[in-house]
Amino acid sequence: MKKTNEKNLTGVKDKTPRLYEIQHREIAKRAAAEGFVLLKNNGILPLKKGEKIALYGAGAAKTVKGGIGSGDVNERASVSILQGMKNAGFHIANEQWSIDFENAYEKARLEWRDRIHDRVERHGSARFFEIYTQDPFVCPTGEINIPPCSCEIAIFVLSRNAGEGMDRKDVKGDYYLSEDEEVLLRNICKQHHSVIVAINSGGIIDLGFADKYENICALLYIVQPGMEGGSAFADVVSGNVTPSGKLTDTWALNYKDYPNADTFSYKSGSVHKEYYEEGIFVGYRYFDSFDIKARYPFGYGLSYTEFEISATKIEIADNQIEITVNVKNTGMAFSGKEVVQVYTSCPQGEIIKEYRRLSAFGKTQNLAPGEEENLVLRFGWYDLASFSEEKSAWFLERGDYIIWVGSSIAGSRIAGVISLDEEKILSKTQAVCPLAETLEEHKFNQELLLNKRLRLEEEIKHLGIIKETVSAGRIKAFEIDYDKSEFFSPEVEALSNKLTLDECVKMVVGDPEKSHQEVIGDSGGSVPGSAASTSDVGIKYGIPSIVTADGTAGLRLQKEYEVVDGEVVRLDFMSSVEGGLFAPGKKNSGEIYYQYCTAFPVATLVAQSWDTALIHEIGAAIGREMSIFGITLWLAPGLNIHRNPLCGRNYEYYSEDPLVSGVVAAEITKGVQSIGGVGTTIKHLACNNQEDNRSGSDSVVSERTLRELYLKGFEIAVKTAQPMSVMTSYNLINGVHTANSYDLCTSVLRHEWGFGGFVMSDWETTKPLPEGFAECSVPYLCISAGNDLIMPGTFNDMDNIRRALSDGSLSQKNLLNSVKRIVRSALSTKKQQNG
């Protein structure tokens, strides 16, 4: 085997923390604190500095920093809440509880590891991921019979973990407290005067327990806060940082209140078809429209201080509406930041719409008591458009557009009304992803919604609000050219033309020679722990291969690897998850190289900060780490919609709302790509909203819902940030695998949105599924659809493409176009690869 040139090894031999680690930890800590959402506080928070507290719950000593699966990040070390509180000078009255818990935890971890190893041995390492995700680690609860404690205040950290490959369950121990947790919480509430509950979960859980015990004085949603979660927690509870996060999802009173509660994923009794019967009424669009009381509404979050928010000016330009909002910290004691949200009620006319939709948002600087700031928030007419399947167009209905401004959907107030004199067609589209069977979307209580709208119009009259009338003629429409030819630079053309036909085939099929063909990643690429790379067949012509890495909350690389006799000891995918828990025990006697990556807070928490500047900063930090480790393409961010709280991967995604999802993904992308020569892969296009049978489930969804909800975030991210790549999803949409969908990969992505990068498949989408499940994606159809790259690729994929070329089902032109798109991106990474 060829020896590795030391110069090409990523990572370092010296274990001392490097400057980037120190700097990025600080960003991770700030981001966590900014994204925590204070759900309830009767005044107990902030605590006095140095206060004596009792600390319970699995997440106290073992705070869950992030979810499982490819979104995991292997960091140097994380700060737990226990550690963070001690570092901040709090006195922990019952540390023994956590010491005992840690012992039980370590024992349970090792038992779990051995069980997984055992099963992998029996079924083969190719099935590791399936085995690992279907049997996730169940954390012990700790001692539930707690000894008497004189301490007044207790903090209970309730943790949950979930991830790729399996959806969550609305059962005890997952969506609900387990029986042991119930007992523990009851005992804590008996022993302590005031109880603070921190929710350390990647997704929504039932908070009914908070109604049961009066002495639960505060609830803080810390999601999964990354490696500095414990320090951020101490910052917030001590009042060093005033909480300013806001929910990006609606927290229902009961799981049953979600519109698809009984049919989501396995709940319907079948994981093969997923009928999107709720249509556009997902999240607040449902709760707000039909007056379903939420426990905590979308956009909600408390602060230690108070703000006064007033819209001072609305200006209408031809294609843009601009709102100036004054925010004043009216509190006396704490400085803080406020998130301003703008919602619009669009006219109800030809088609029924949600009562309100988020149209813009912004966050203030840290305002001292008495200090104020003017925020200018903008959105376009297109953001207010609806999609009509009948017209095959995005259009604006004639009537009143009522603008609301506030710090949550529930708390927003009418700020102005814009009246559109006539209907306006903004753009005509081709019909895409047609339904292959009938779908009856629920009407819910339409009458209630329409009456609500009528009452709102009455109120506007009553309040004497002056409407500003806009003539539809002033608003610019735009045309879509579905035949537009793509431009490639002469360099891209020339280099691509050098490849032989067979090299072209190799170029579009990952790199099966290097891949270990595991389900995720290959750990055998040039950077240990990275996911698969693109083919190196072009290297002799000066076309570098693209090196990809996962980890939606940072980079997932092996944190250490070994070099023996000049060769990297290759480990498989198993070694690159759970911080290396499944890596083989004793090493050889080689040299150890370290690659420590920063575990940022998970996507939902990042979004909950609503702070685009901070999000950009996180992106830039990830981009810098990519450049340090020789990764050129990040397999993130993920921006699927939180359609139901039980989706296993929700932690990797931002919100139930497409605007939040799109803006955050765009900002992360701009941050990463500001580094130069590195790029993002926004994923998974589209409707990857369930994990059970994720490769074979068919999302049956109307075109309107698809466009307004599930594609919208991707559209925003593509149009505003031009990510280097897009990853299609595993699932089918209306009977067609997304990787085989010309409508998605070409008509929508390139022609409608102007995407200029390349499209890749999710891992092994061309692998046949067991009998009784859907057909897998067809390799050559990926290429003709415009899904340019099959990852990580197999030799069968190549054969299939060769056959299709020879029998004429795939044209050479199509193949070459995919090659050119990959080459174009590969060349843009050259700057990094040349160092």
Q: Counting Cβ atoms within 10 Å, is residue 467 exposed (0-12), middle (13-18) or buried (19+)? A: middle
For residue 721, whether the previous peptide bond is cis, meaning omega lies within 30 degrees of 0, is no
Give bridge partners of residue 416 from the DSSP assignment: 403
Helices (H), 722-807: 742, 779-785, 795-807
Is residue 518 a contact residue for ligand BGC (CB under 6 A)?
Answer: no
Distance CA 117, CA 132 (A): 9
Q: Which residue's CB is nearer to ligand BGC, number 135 or number 315?
A: 135
Provide the pairing of β-strand 386-388 with 393-396.
antiparallel
Binding residue (CB under 6 A) for ligand BGC from 285, 683, 751, 820? 683
Closest contact distance (angstroms) between CB of 535 and ligand BGC is 17
Residue 739, phi-psi category: left (phi > 0), alpha (psi -120 to 50), beta (remainder): alpha
Beta-strand ranges (E) seen in 51-144 are 52-56, 91-92
Site for ligand BGC in 299-328 (CB under 6 A): none
Helices (H), 325-479: 446-463
Closest contact distance (angstroms) between CB of 676 and ligand BGC is 23
Q: Which residue's CB is nearer to ligand BGC, number 125 or number 178?
A: 125
Q: Which residue's CB is nearer to ligand BGC, number 705 or number 728?
A: 728
Q: Which residue's CB is nearer to ligand BGC, number 38 or number 639?
A: 639
Is residue 163 a contact residue for ligand BGC (CB under 6 A)?
Answer: no
Residues 6+ apart with CB under 8 A from 634: 548, 549, 551, 555, 622, 623, 626, 672, 678, 679, 680, 681
Closest contact distance (angstroms) between CB of 763 and ligand BGC is 4
Q: Which residue's CB is nearer to ligand BGC, number 453 or number 683?
A: 683
Closest contact distance (angstroms) between CB of 523 and ligand BGC is 10
Binding residue (CB under 6 A) for ligand BGC from 352, 520, 781, 805? 520
Active-site residue, from 511, 522, 762, 788: 762
Is residue 634 a contact residue for ligand BGC (CB under 6 A)?
Answer: no
Q: Which residue's CB is nearer to ligand BGC, number 543 or number 635?
A: 635
Closest contact distance (angstroms) between CB of 304 and ligand BGC is 38
Closest contact distance (angstroms) between CB of 791 and ligand BGC is 7
Is residue 516 a contact residue for ligand BGC (CB under 6 A)?
Answer: no
Q: Is 762 annotated in the active site?
A: yes
Q: Which residue's CB is nearer to ligand BGC, number 199 or number 646?
A: 646
- Per DSSP, the chain holds a count of helices (H) and strands (E) of 22, 31
Is residue 828 a contact residue for ligand BGC (CB under 6 A)?
Answer: no
Binding residue (CB under 6 A) for ligand BGC from 32, 302, 352, 531? 531
Is residue 167 a contact residue for ligand BGC (CB under 6 A)?
Answer: no
Tokens of 784: 């003709």
Q: Counting Cβ atoms within 10 Å, is residue 425 exposed (0-12), middle (13-18) or buried (19+)? A: middle
Tokens of 640: 């699927």
Only one residue has tokens 């099935």, namely: 127
Closest contact distance (angstroms) between CB of 799 and ligand BGC is 23
Sequence length of the chain is: 835
Is residue 285 a contact residue for ligand BGC (CB under 6 A)?
Answer: no
Q: Which residue's CB is nearer to ligand BGC, number 373 or number 764?
A: 764
Q: Which residue's CB is nearer to ligand BGC, number 414 or number 647?
A: 647
Only one residue has tokens 């079924």, namely: 123
DSSP 673-729: HTTSS-EEEEEEETT----TTTTT-EEE--HHHIIIIITHHHHHHHHHH--SEEEE-
Site for ligand BGC in 60-89 (CB under 6 A): 70
- Which 3 state secondary structure label does DSSP give 326? strand
Is residue 132 a contact residue for ligand BGC (CB under 6 A)?
Answer: no
Please tell me the count of residues contacting ligand BGC according to CB under 6 A: 10
Closest contact distance (angstroms) between CB of 668 and ligand BGC is 15
Distance CA 703, CA 188 (A): 51
Distance CA 233, CA 28 (A): 12
Q: Which residue's CB is nearer to ligand BGC, number 280 or number 520?
A: 520
Q: Which residue's CB is nearer to ligand BGC, number 295 or number 683?
A: 683
Find out whether 185 and 156 touch, Cβ atoms under 8 Å: yes
Is residue 550 a contact residue for ligand BGC (CB under 6 A)?
Answer: yes
Closest contact distance (angstroms) between CB of 792 and ligand BGC is 8
Residues 6+ apart with CB under 8 A from 636: 71, 550, 551, 552, 652, 668, 680, 681, 683
Is residue 568 a contact residue for ligand BGC (CB under 6 A)?
Answer: no
Is residue 527 a contact residue for ligand BGC (CB under 6 A)?
Answer: no
DSSP 338: -
- Map residues 494-513 to x or -, x wherever contact with ligand BGC holds by CB under 6 A: --------------------
Closest contact distance (angstroms) between CB of 679 and ligand BGC is 14
Distances (CA, A) of 340 to 37, 214, 287, 376: 15, 31, 20, 10
- Which 3 state secondary structure label does DSSP give 122? helix
Binding residue (CB under 6 A) for ligand BGC from 218, 352, 635, 785? 635
Distance CA 682, CA 679 (A): 10
Closest contact distance (angstroms) between CB of 297 and ligand BGC is 30
- The CA angle 626-629-631, to the nearest 5 degrees, is 50
- Map residues 750-789 to x or -, x wherever contact with ligand BGC holds by CB under 6 A: ------------xx--------------------------
DSSP 435-473: -SS-------SHHHHHHHHHHHHHHHHHHTPPEEEE-GG
Angle between helices 712-721 and 658-673 (to 10 degrees): 30
Q: Which residue from 363, 407, 377 is spatially nearest to 315, judged by alpha carbons?
A: 377
Find out whether 335 and 371 touch, Cβ atoms under 8 Å: yes
Q: How many CB atoms lie within 10 A of CB 359?
A: 22
Q: What residues act catalytically? A: 762
Which positions lie near ligand BGC, rule CB under 6 A?
70, 164, 520-521, 531, 550, 635, 683, 762-763
